[in-house]
Amino acid sequence: MITQLKKLTWKPSTVSWLSFVMMGLIVAGIGLSGTSHVVNYLKEQQTVHDIEHNREIASALLSELRTVLDNKEHDVSQAMSKIIDGYSIFGFRILVIDNVNQTIVVDSGSKISTPVAIKDSWLNKMTNLAGEHVGLIQENGVVRAQGKNHHPMLLLLQDVGNSGDNRWILGIAKDQKALNEFLVDLHWHLDAVLLLTYVLITLFGYYTMRSIGRNYEKRLETQVKERTKQLENAHEDLLHKTRLATIGQTATVLTHEMRNPLASIKLALSGIKDSESLQKRESRRVDLVLGEVDRLDALLSETLDYVKPVKLSAQPVELDLLLTRVLEQQSPLLQDKNIHVKRQFCNDGSALRIDEAQVHQVFLNMIKNAIEASPQGGDISISLQRRNNKLVLTMSNSGEILSKETLHRAFDPFYTTKPKGTGLGLGLVKRVVEEHGGSVVLESTSEFGTVLTLSFLMD
């Protein structure tokens, strides 16, 4: 069953094509039948029009023919021919029929010297308007016949009505060949225009619907991507919070369980180091152990700082002043590496309600990283500017260009490229700034070096 459903699955474009083709066939069928109806209607109306013309000619001839028939002294055939010749120039074929003898006495379309039997003339296959064969000449009515070269003729038969004998019948015929050919051409042209119109409509409609469909699909894809991105962000945020909670629990346990033993170890080693009996070699080993104890203690402190919640100060804090204090604290390291600091102050209000202690730690981590990454005698540029409703702090150094992987993972907890780094410094920067409603961007190019940008929202 599933295989059958798969076989019946069609692409949207295929369904659209089939829909428009089916619609085109239906509309074309209706349209073609409609053009046929229009042409037949025109043909019927033209037939009625021709019959009325024939009646008008017949009315004009009847009085003159009756005068000839009343005058016994004239040759009826010759006299009628003279009268009829005056009307044949209008394109009508006029004839007089002897109904008693079933002969044609006068025919403007064919000069005859003696009466011609109807059965031997072009009237031998007459039909009524419905197409039924008519065997005998009727005194009054409309019939169809085949003229010379099979031209279709519309014939009006009118009783002359002389002396009540109903012998003489006047026939007014109209050649309909040109009309029929015109209607055939009209029918063909209407069908051609109709089909072309429907083809164009179908193509235009198809591409229009496909365009609408594609736009709708793109909007759906965009919405799906946005929702997916939101889910990914929510997932990352959940992972980050879970990671913070885990780090916080771990830091609490480690601090409680390790700081006291570390303090005891450090105190004991300090006492041993101060002993005069300690040789130089052993003293270096004690210094090495003390350094590792200090590193473990710093790691515990950084871990606690990383998970410490943000507490905004009651009064606004000047970021320029806070940054100046941090630079003063790090001046020995700057002098040791002969690093020159280029500073740009903010003249448009740099005071914010922040967690002063944590932002202080953020600035400290930034400057430490910049010093460690800068070469001997290098430069560090620091700029604080107001941009609309944001305070933007930019710090750059001329150190080595960071790899793509480092840029991507720089803010991950415990990720570091330093032999003795903890991997928490930039993570702390990102967490604290974002909890203040700001953002952090790290870039590294050959043109500008490594640039760390912090953006704080102003109140």
We report the CATH number of the domain holding residue 152 as 3.30.450.20
Assign residue 367 the CATH number of its domain.
3.30.565.10
Given 175, 201, 225, the domain boundary residue is 175
pLDDT in tens, 396-441: 988 788 888 888 888 777 767 776 666 677 888 888 888 888 999 9
Residue 59 in domain:
yes
The mean-pLDDT minimum among 19-23, 191-195, 331-335 falls in: 19-23
Given 175, 196, 220, the domain boundary residue is 175
pLDDT at 383: 92
Given 175, 209, 241, the domain boundary residue is 175
Q: With bands split at pLDDT 50, 70 and 90, how would you rate the model's confidence at 5?
A: very low
pLDDT in tens, 233-244: 888 878 767 776
Residue 200 in domain:
no
| Residues pairing with 343 in the sheet | 382
Q: With bands split at pLDDT 50, 70 and 90, how would you rate the model's confidence at 60?
A: confident
Residue 280 in domain:
no
Q: What percent of the chain has pLDDT over 90?
A: 6
Residue 428 in domain:
yes
| pTM metric for this prediction | 0.46
Residue 249 in domain:
no
Considering the chain, what is the average pLDDT of its residues?
Answer: 79
pLDDT in tens, 111-153: 777 888 888 888 888 888 888 887 666 657 888 888 877 888 8
pLDDT at 392: 92
Q: What single-letter DSSP state applies at residue 123?
A: T
Q: With bands split at pLDDT 50, 70 and 90, how would you rate the model's confidence at 1?
A: very low
Residue 298 in domain:
no
Would the pLDDT of 373 be above 50? yes
Residue 187 in domain:
no
Q: Which domain holds residue 442?
A: 311-457
Task: Determine the average pLDDT of the residues in 269-281.
Answer: 68
Q: With bands split at pLDDT 50, 70 and 90, how would you rate the model's confidence at 455?
A: very high
Nearest to 126 by CA among 150, 143, 140: 143
Task: Determine the average pLDDT of the residues in 148-159.
Answer: 84
Would the pLDDT of 360 be above 80? yes
pLDDT at 210: 76
Mode of pairing for the β-strands spanning 141-146 and 116-117:
unpaired
Q: 404: how many CB neighbours lie within 10 A of its CB?
A: 8
Tally of helices (H runs) and strands (E runs) in the chain: 10, 13
- Say what the alpha-carbon torsion angle 160, 164, 167, 173 is, to the nearest 10 degrees: 20
Q: With bands split at pLDDT 50, 70 and 90, how would you rate the model's confidence at 173?
A: confident
Q: Specify whether 20 is located in the same domain as 169.
A: yes
Residue 166 in domain:
yes
Would the pLDDT of 3 be above 80? no
Structural domains in the chain (count) = 2
> Using CA atoms, how far apart are residues 447 and 459, in angstroms rounded to an integer?
34
Phi, psi of 311 (to 5 degrees): -130, 110
